[in-house]
């Protein structure tokens, strides 16, 4: 099958799923989300697949979702995009195969959320993490669902309200990633972990994931969907439009509070 936004490589019992939009900082477009979710769903029927490594081409892991211009996008289009975002995340969480994120560069906005959704994560010491939406007059509505699963309330508020970029060492300390390697060593480490997992009992791996996620998955999906509804309301607000207009004009936004 030909793909426009991703690549897939089989390495023994490991499938390497790569976001392949480096010119767009690997933003998650509608096409990209469809292909990522479809690939993960197809892996479920692949008995030769024991584990998945989620990587990205170029210098950026993922800079978030490609939402378009909130001033012209309709709520229907926004919801269609958000539903794809939810489907991709649930494909990771509900997969019976372990999914390991290989993070070589920035994972910001929706990219942070993708790393959080994966079962395990390896990051380069040069990688950075952020939920910077607040800096653009928005809020990380859907990312909050994931952040709340791995961080304390104070840490969630710190990252989402300040929108600061944190280094991989801080992400390791917070529990967002499992391992930090030297630049260029991320994929070898991710493959090492994936190959080890691929040799384990598929039934045991699937059961382990199910035991952890079964009760959590439904609430996670509901949180994502709730965040999507709130995000659409925010994106169609006057302040959201003002944020984009002010950024284009190179001036400070004049917030109206509505």
Whether the pLDDT of residue 242 is over 90: the answer is no
Measured between alpha carbons, how far is 75 from 98 in angstroms, rounded to an integer?
A: 34
Model confidence pLDDT, tens digit, residues 63-81: 999 877 778 888 888 889 8
Measured between alpha carbons, how far is 66 from 228 in angstroms, rounded to an integer?
A: 14
Model confidence pLDDT, tens digit, residues 3-32: 999 999 999 999 999 999 999 999 999 999
Model confidence pLDDT, tens digit, residues 36-70: 999 999 999 999 999 999 999 999 999 999 877 77
Whether the pLDDT of residue 236 is over 80: the answer is no
Model confidence pLDDT, tens digit, residues 176-188: 999 999 999 999 9
The region, left, alpha or beta by phi > 0 then psi within -120 to 50, assigned to residue 26 is: left
At residue 215 the predicted structure's pLDDT band, cuts being 50, 70 and 90, is low
Query: In this predicted structure, what is the pLDDT of residue 217?
Result: 61
Pick the CATH number of 6-198 from 1.20.210.10, 3.40.50.920, 1.20.930.40, 3.90.226.10: 3.90.226.10
Minimum mean pLDDT range among 99-108, 166-175, 244-253: 244-253
Query: In this predicted structure, what is the pLDDT of residue 51?
Result: 98
How is the chain split into domains, by residue range?
6-198
Q: Which position has the higher pLDDT, 105 or 241?
A: 105
Query: In this predicted structure, what is the pLDDT of residue 12?
Result: 97
Q: Which position has the higher pLDDT, 139 or 218?
A: 139
Helices and strands of the chain, counted as H and E runs: 9, 9
Closest CA to 50 of 10, 97, 101, 100: 97
Mean pLDDT to the nearest integer, 78-102: 93
Q: What is the value of pTM for the model shown?
A: 0.85
Q: How many CB atoms lie within 10 A of CB 22?
A: 13
Measured between alpha carbons, how far is 186 from 202 in angstroms, rounded to an integer?
A: 24
Q: How many CB atoms lie within 10 A of CB 204?
A: 9
For residue 72, report the phi and psi dihedrals to the nearest 5 degrees.
Answer: -120, -20
Query: In this predicted structure, what is the pLDDT of residue 216?
Result: 63
Model confidence pLDDT, tens digit, residues 156-168: 999 999 999 999 9
Model confidence pLDDT, tens digit, residues 104-156: 999 999 999 999 999 999 999 999 999 998 898 887 777 777 788 888 889 99
């Amino acid at each position: 099958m030909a793909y426009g936004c991703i690549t897939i490589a089989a390495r023994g019992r490991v499938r390497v799923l790569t976001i392949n939009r480096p010119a767009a900082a690997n933003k998650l477009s509608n096409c990209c989300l469809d292909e990522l979710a479809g690939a993960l769903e197809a892996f479920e029927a692949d008995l030769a697949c024991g584990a998945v490594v989620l990587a990205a081409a170029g210098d950026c892991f993922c800079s978030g979702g490609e939402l378009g211009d909130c001033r012209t996008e309709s709520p229907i289009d926004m919801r269609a995009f958000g539903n794809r975002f939810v489907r991709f995340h649930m494909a990771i969480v509900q997969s019976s195969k372990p999914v390991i994120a290989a993070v070589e560069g920035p994972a910001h906005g929706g990219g942070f959320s993708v790393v959080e959704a994966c079962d395990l994560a390896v990051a380069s010491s040069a990688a950075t993490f952020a939920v910077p939406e607040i800096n653009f007059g928005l809020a990380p509505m859907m990312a909050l669902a994931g952040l709340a699963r791995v961080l304390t309330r104070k840490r969630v508020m710190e990252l989402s309200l300040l929108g600061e970029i944190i280094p991989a060492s801080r992400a390791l300390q917070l529990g967002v990633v499992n391992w930090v390697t030297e630049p260029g060593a991320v994929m070898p480490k991710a493959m090492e972990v994936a190959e080890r997992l691929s040799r384990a009992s598929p039934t045991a791996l699937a059961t382990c994931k199910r035991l952890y996620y079964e009760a959590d998955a439904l609430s996670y999906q509901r949180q994502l969907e709730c965040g999507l509804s709130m995000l659409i309301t925010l994106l169609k607000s006057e302040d959201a439009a003002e944020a984009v207009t002010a950024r284009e004009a190179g001036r400070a936004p004049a917030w109206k509070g509505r």
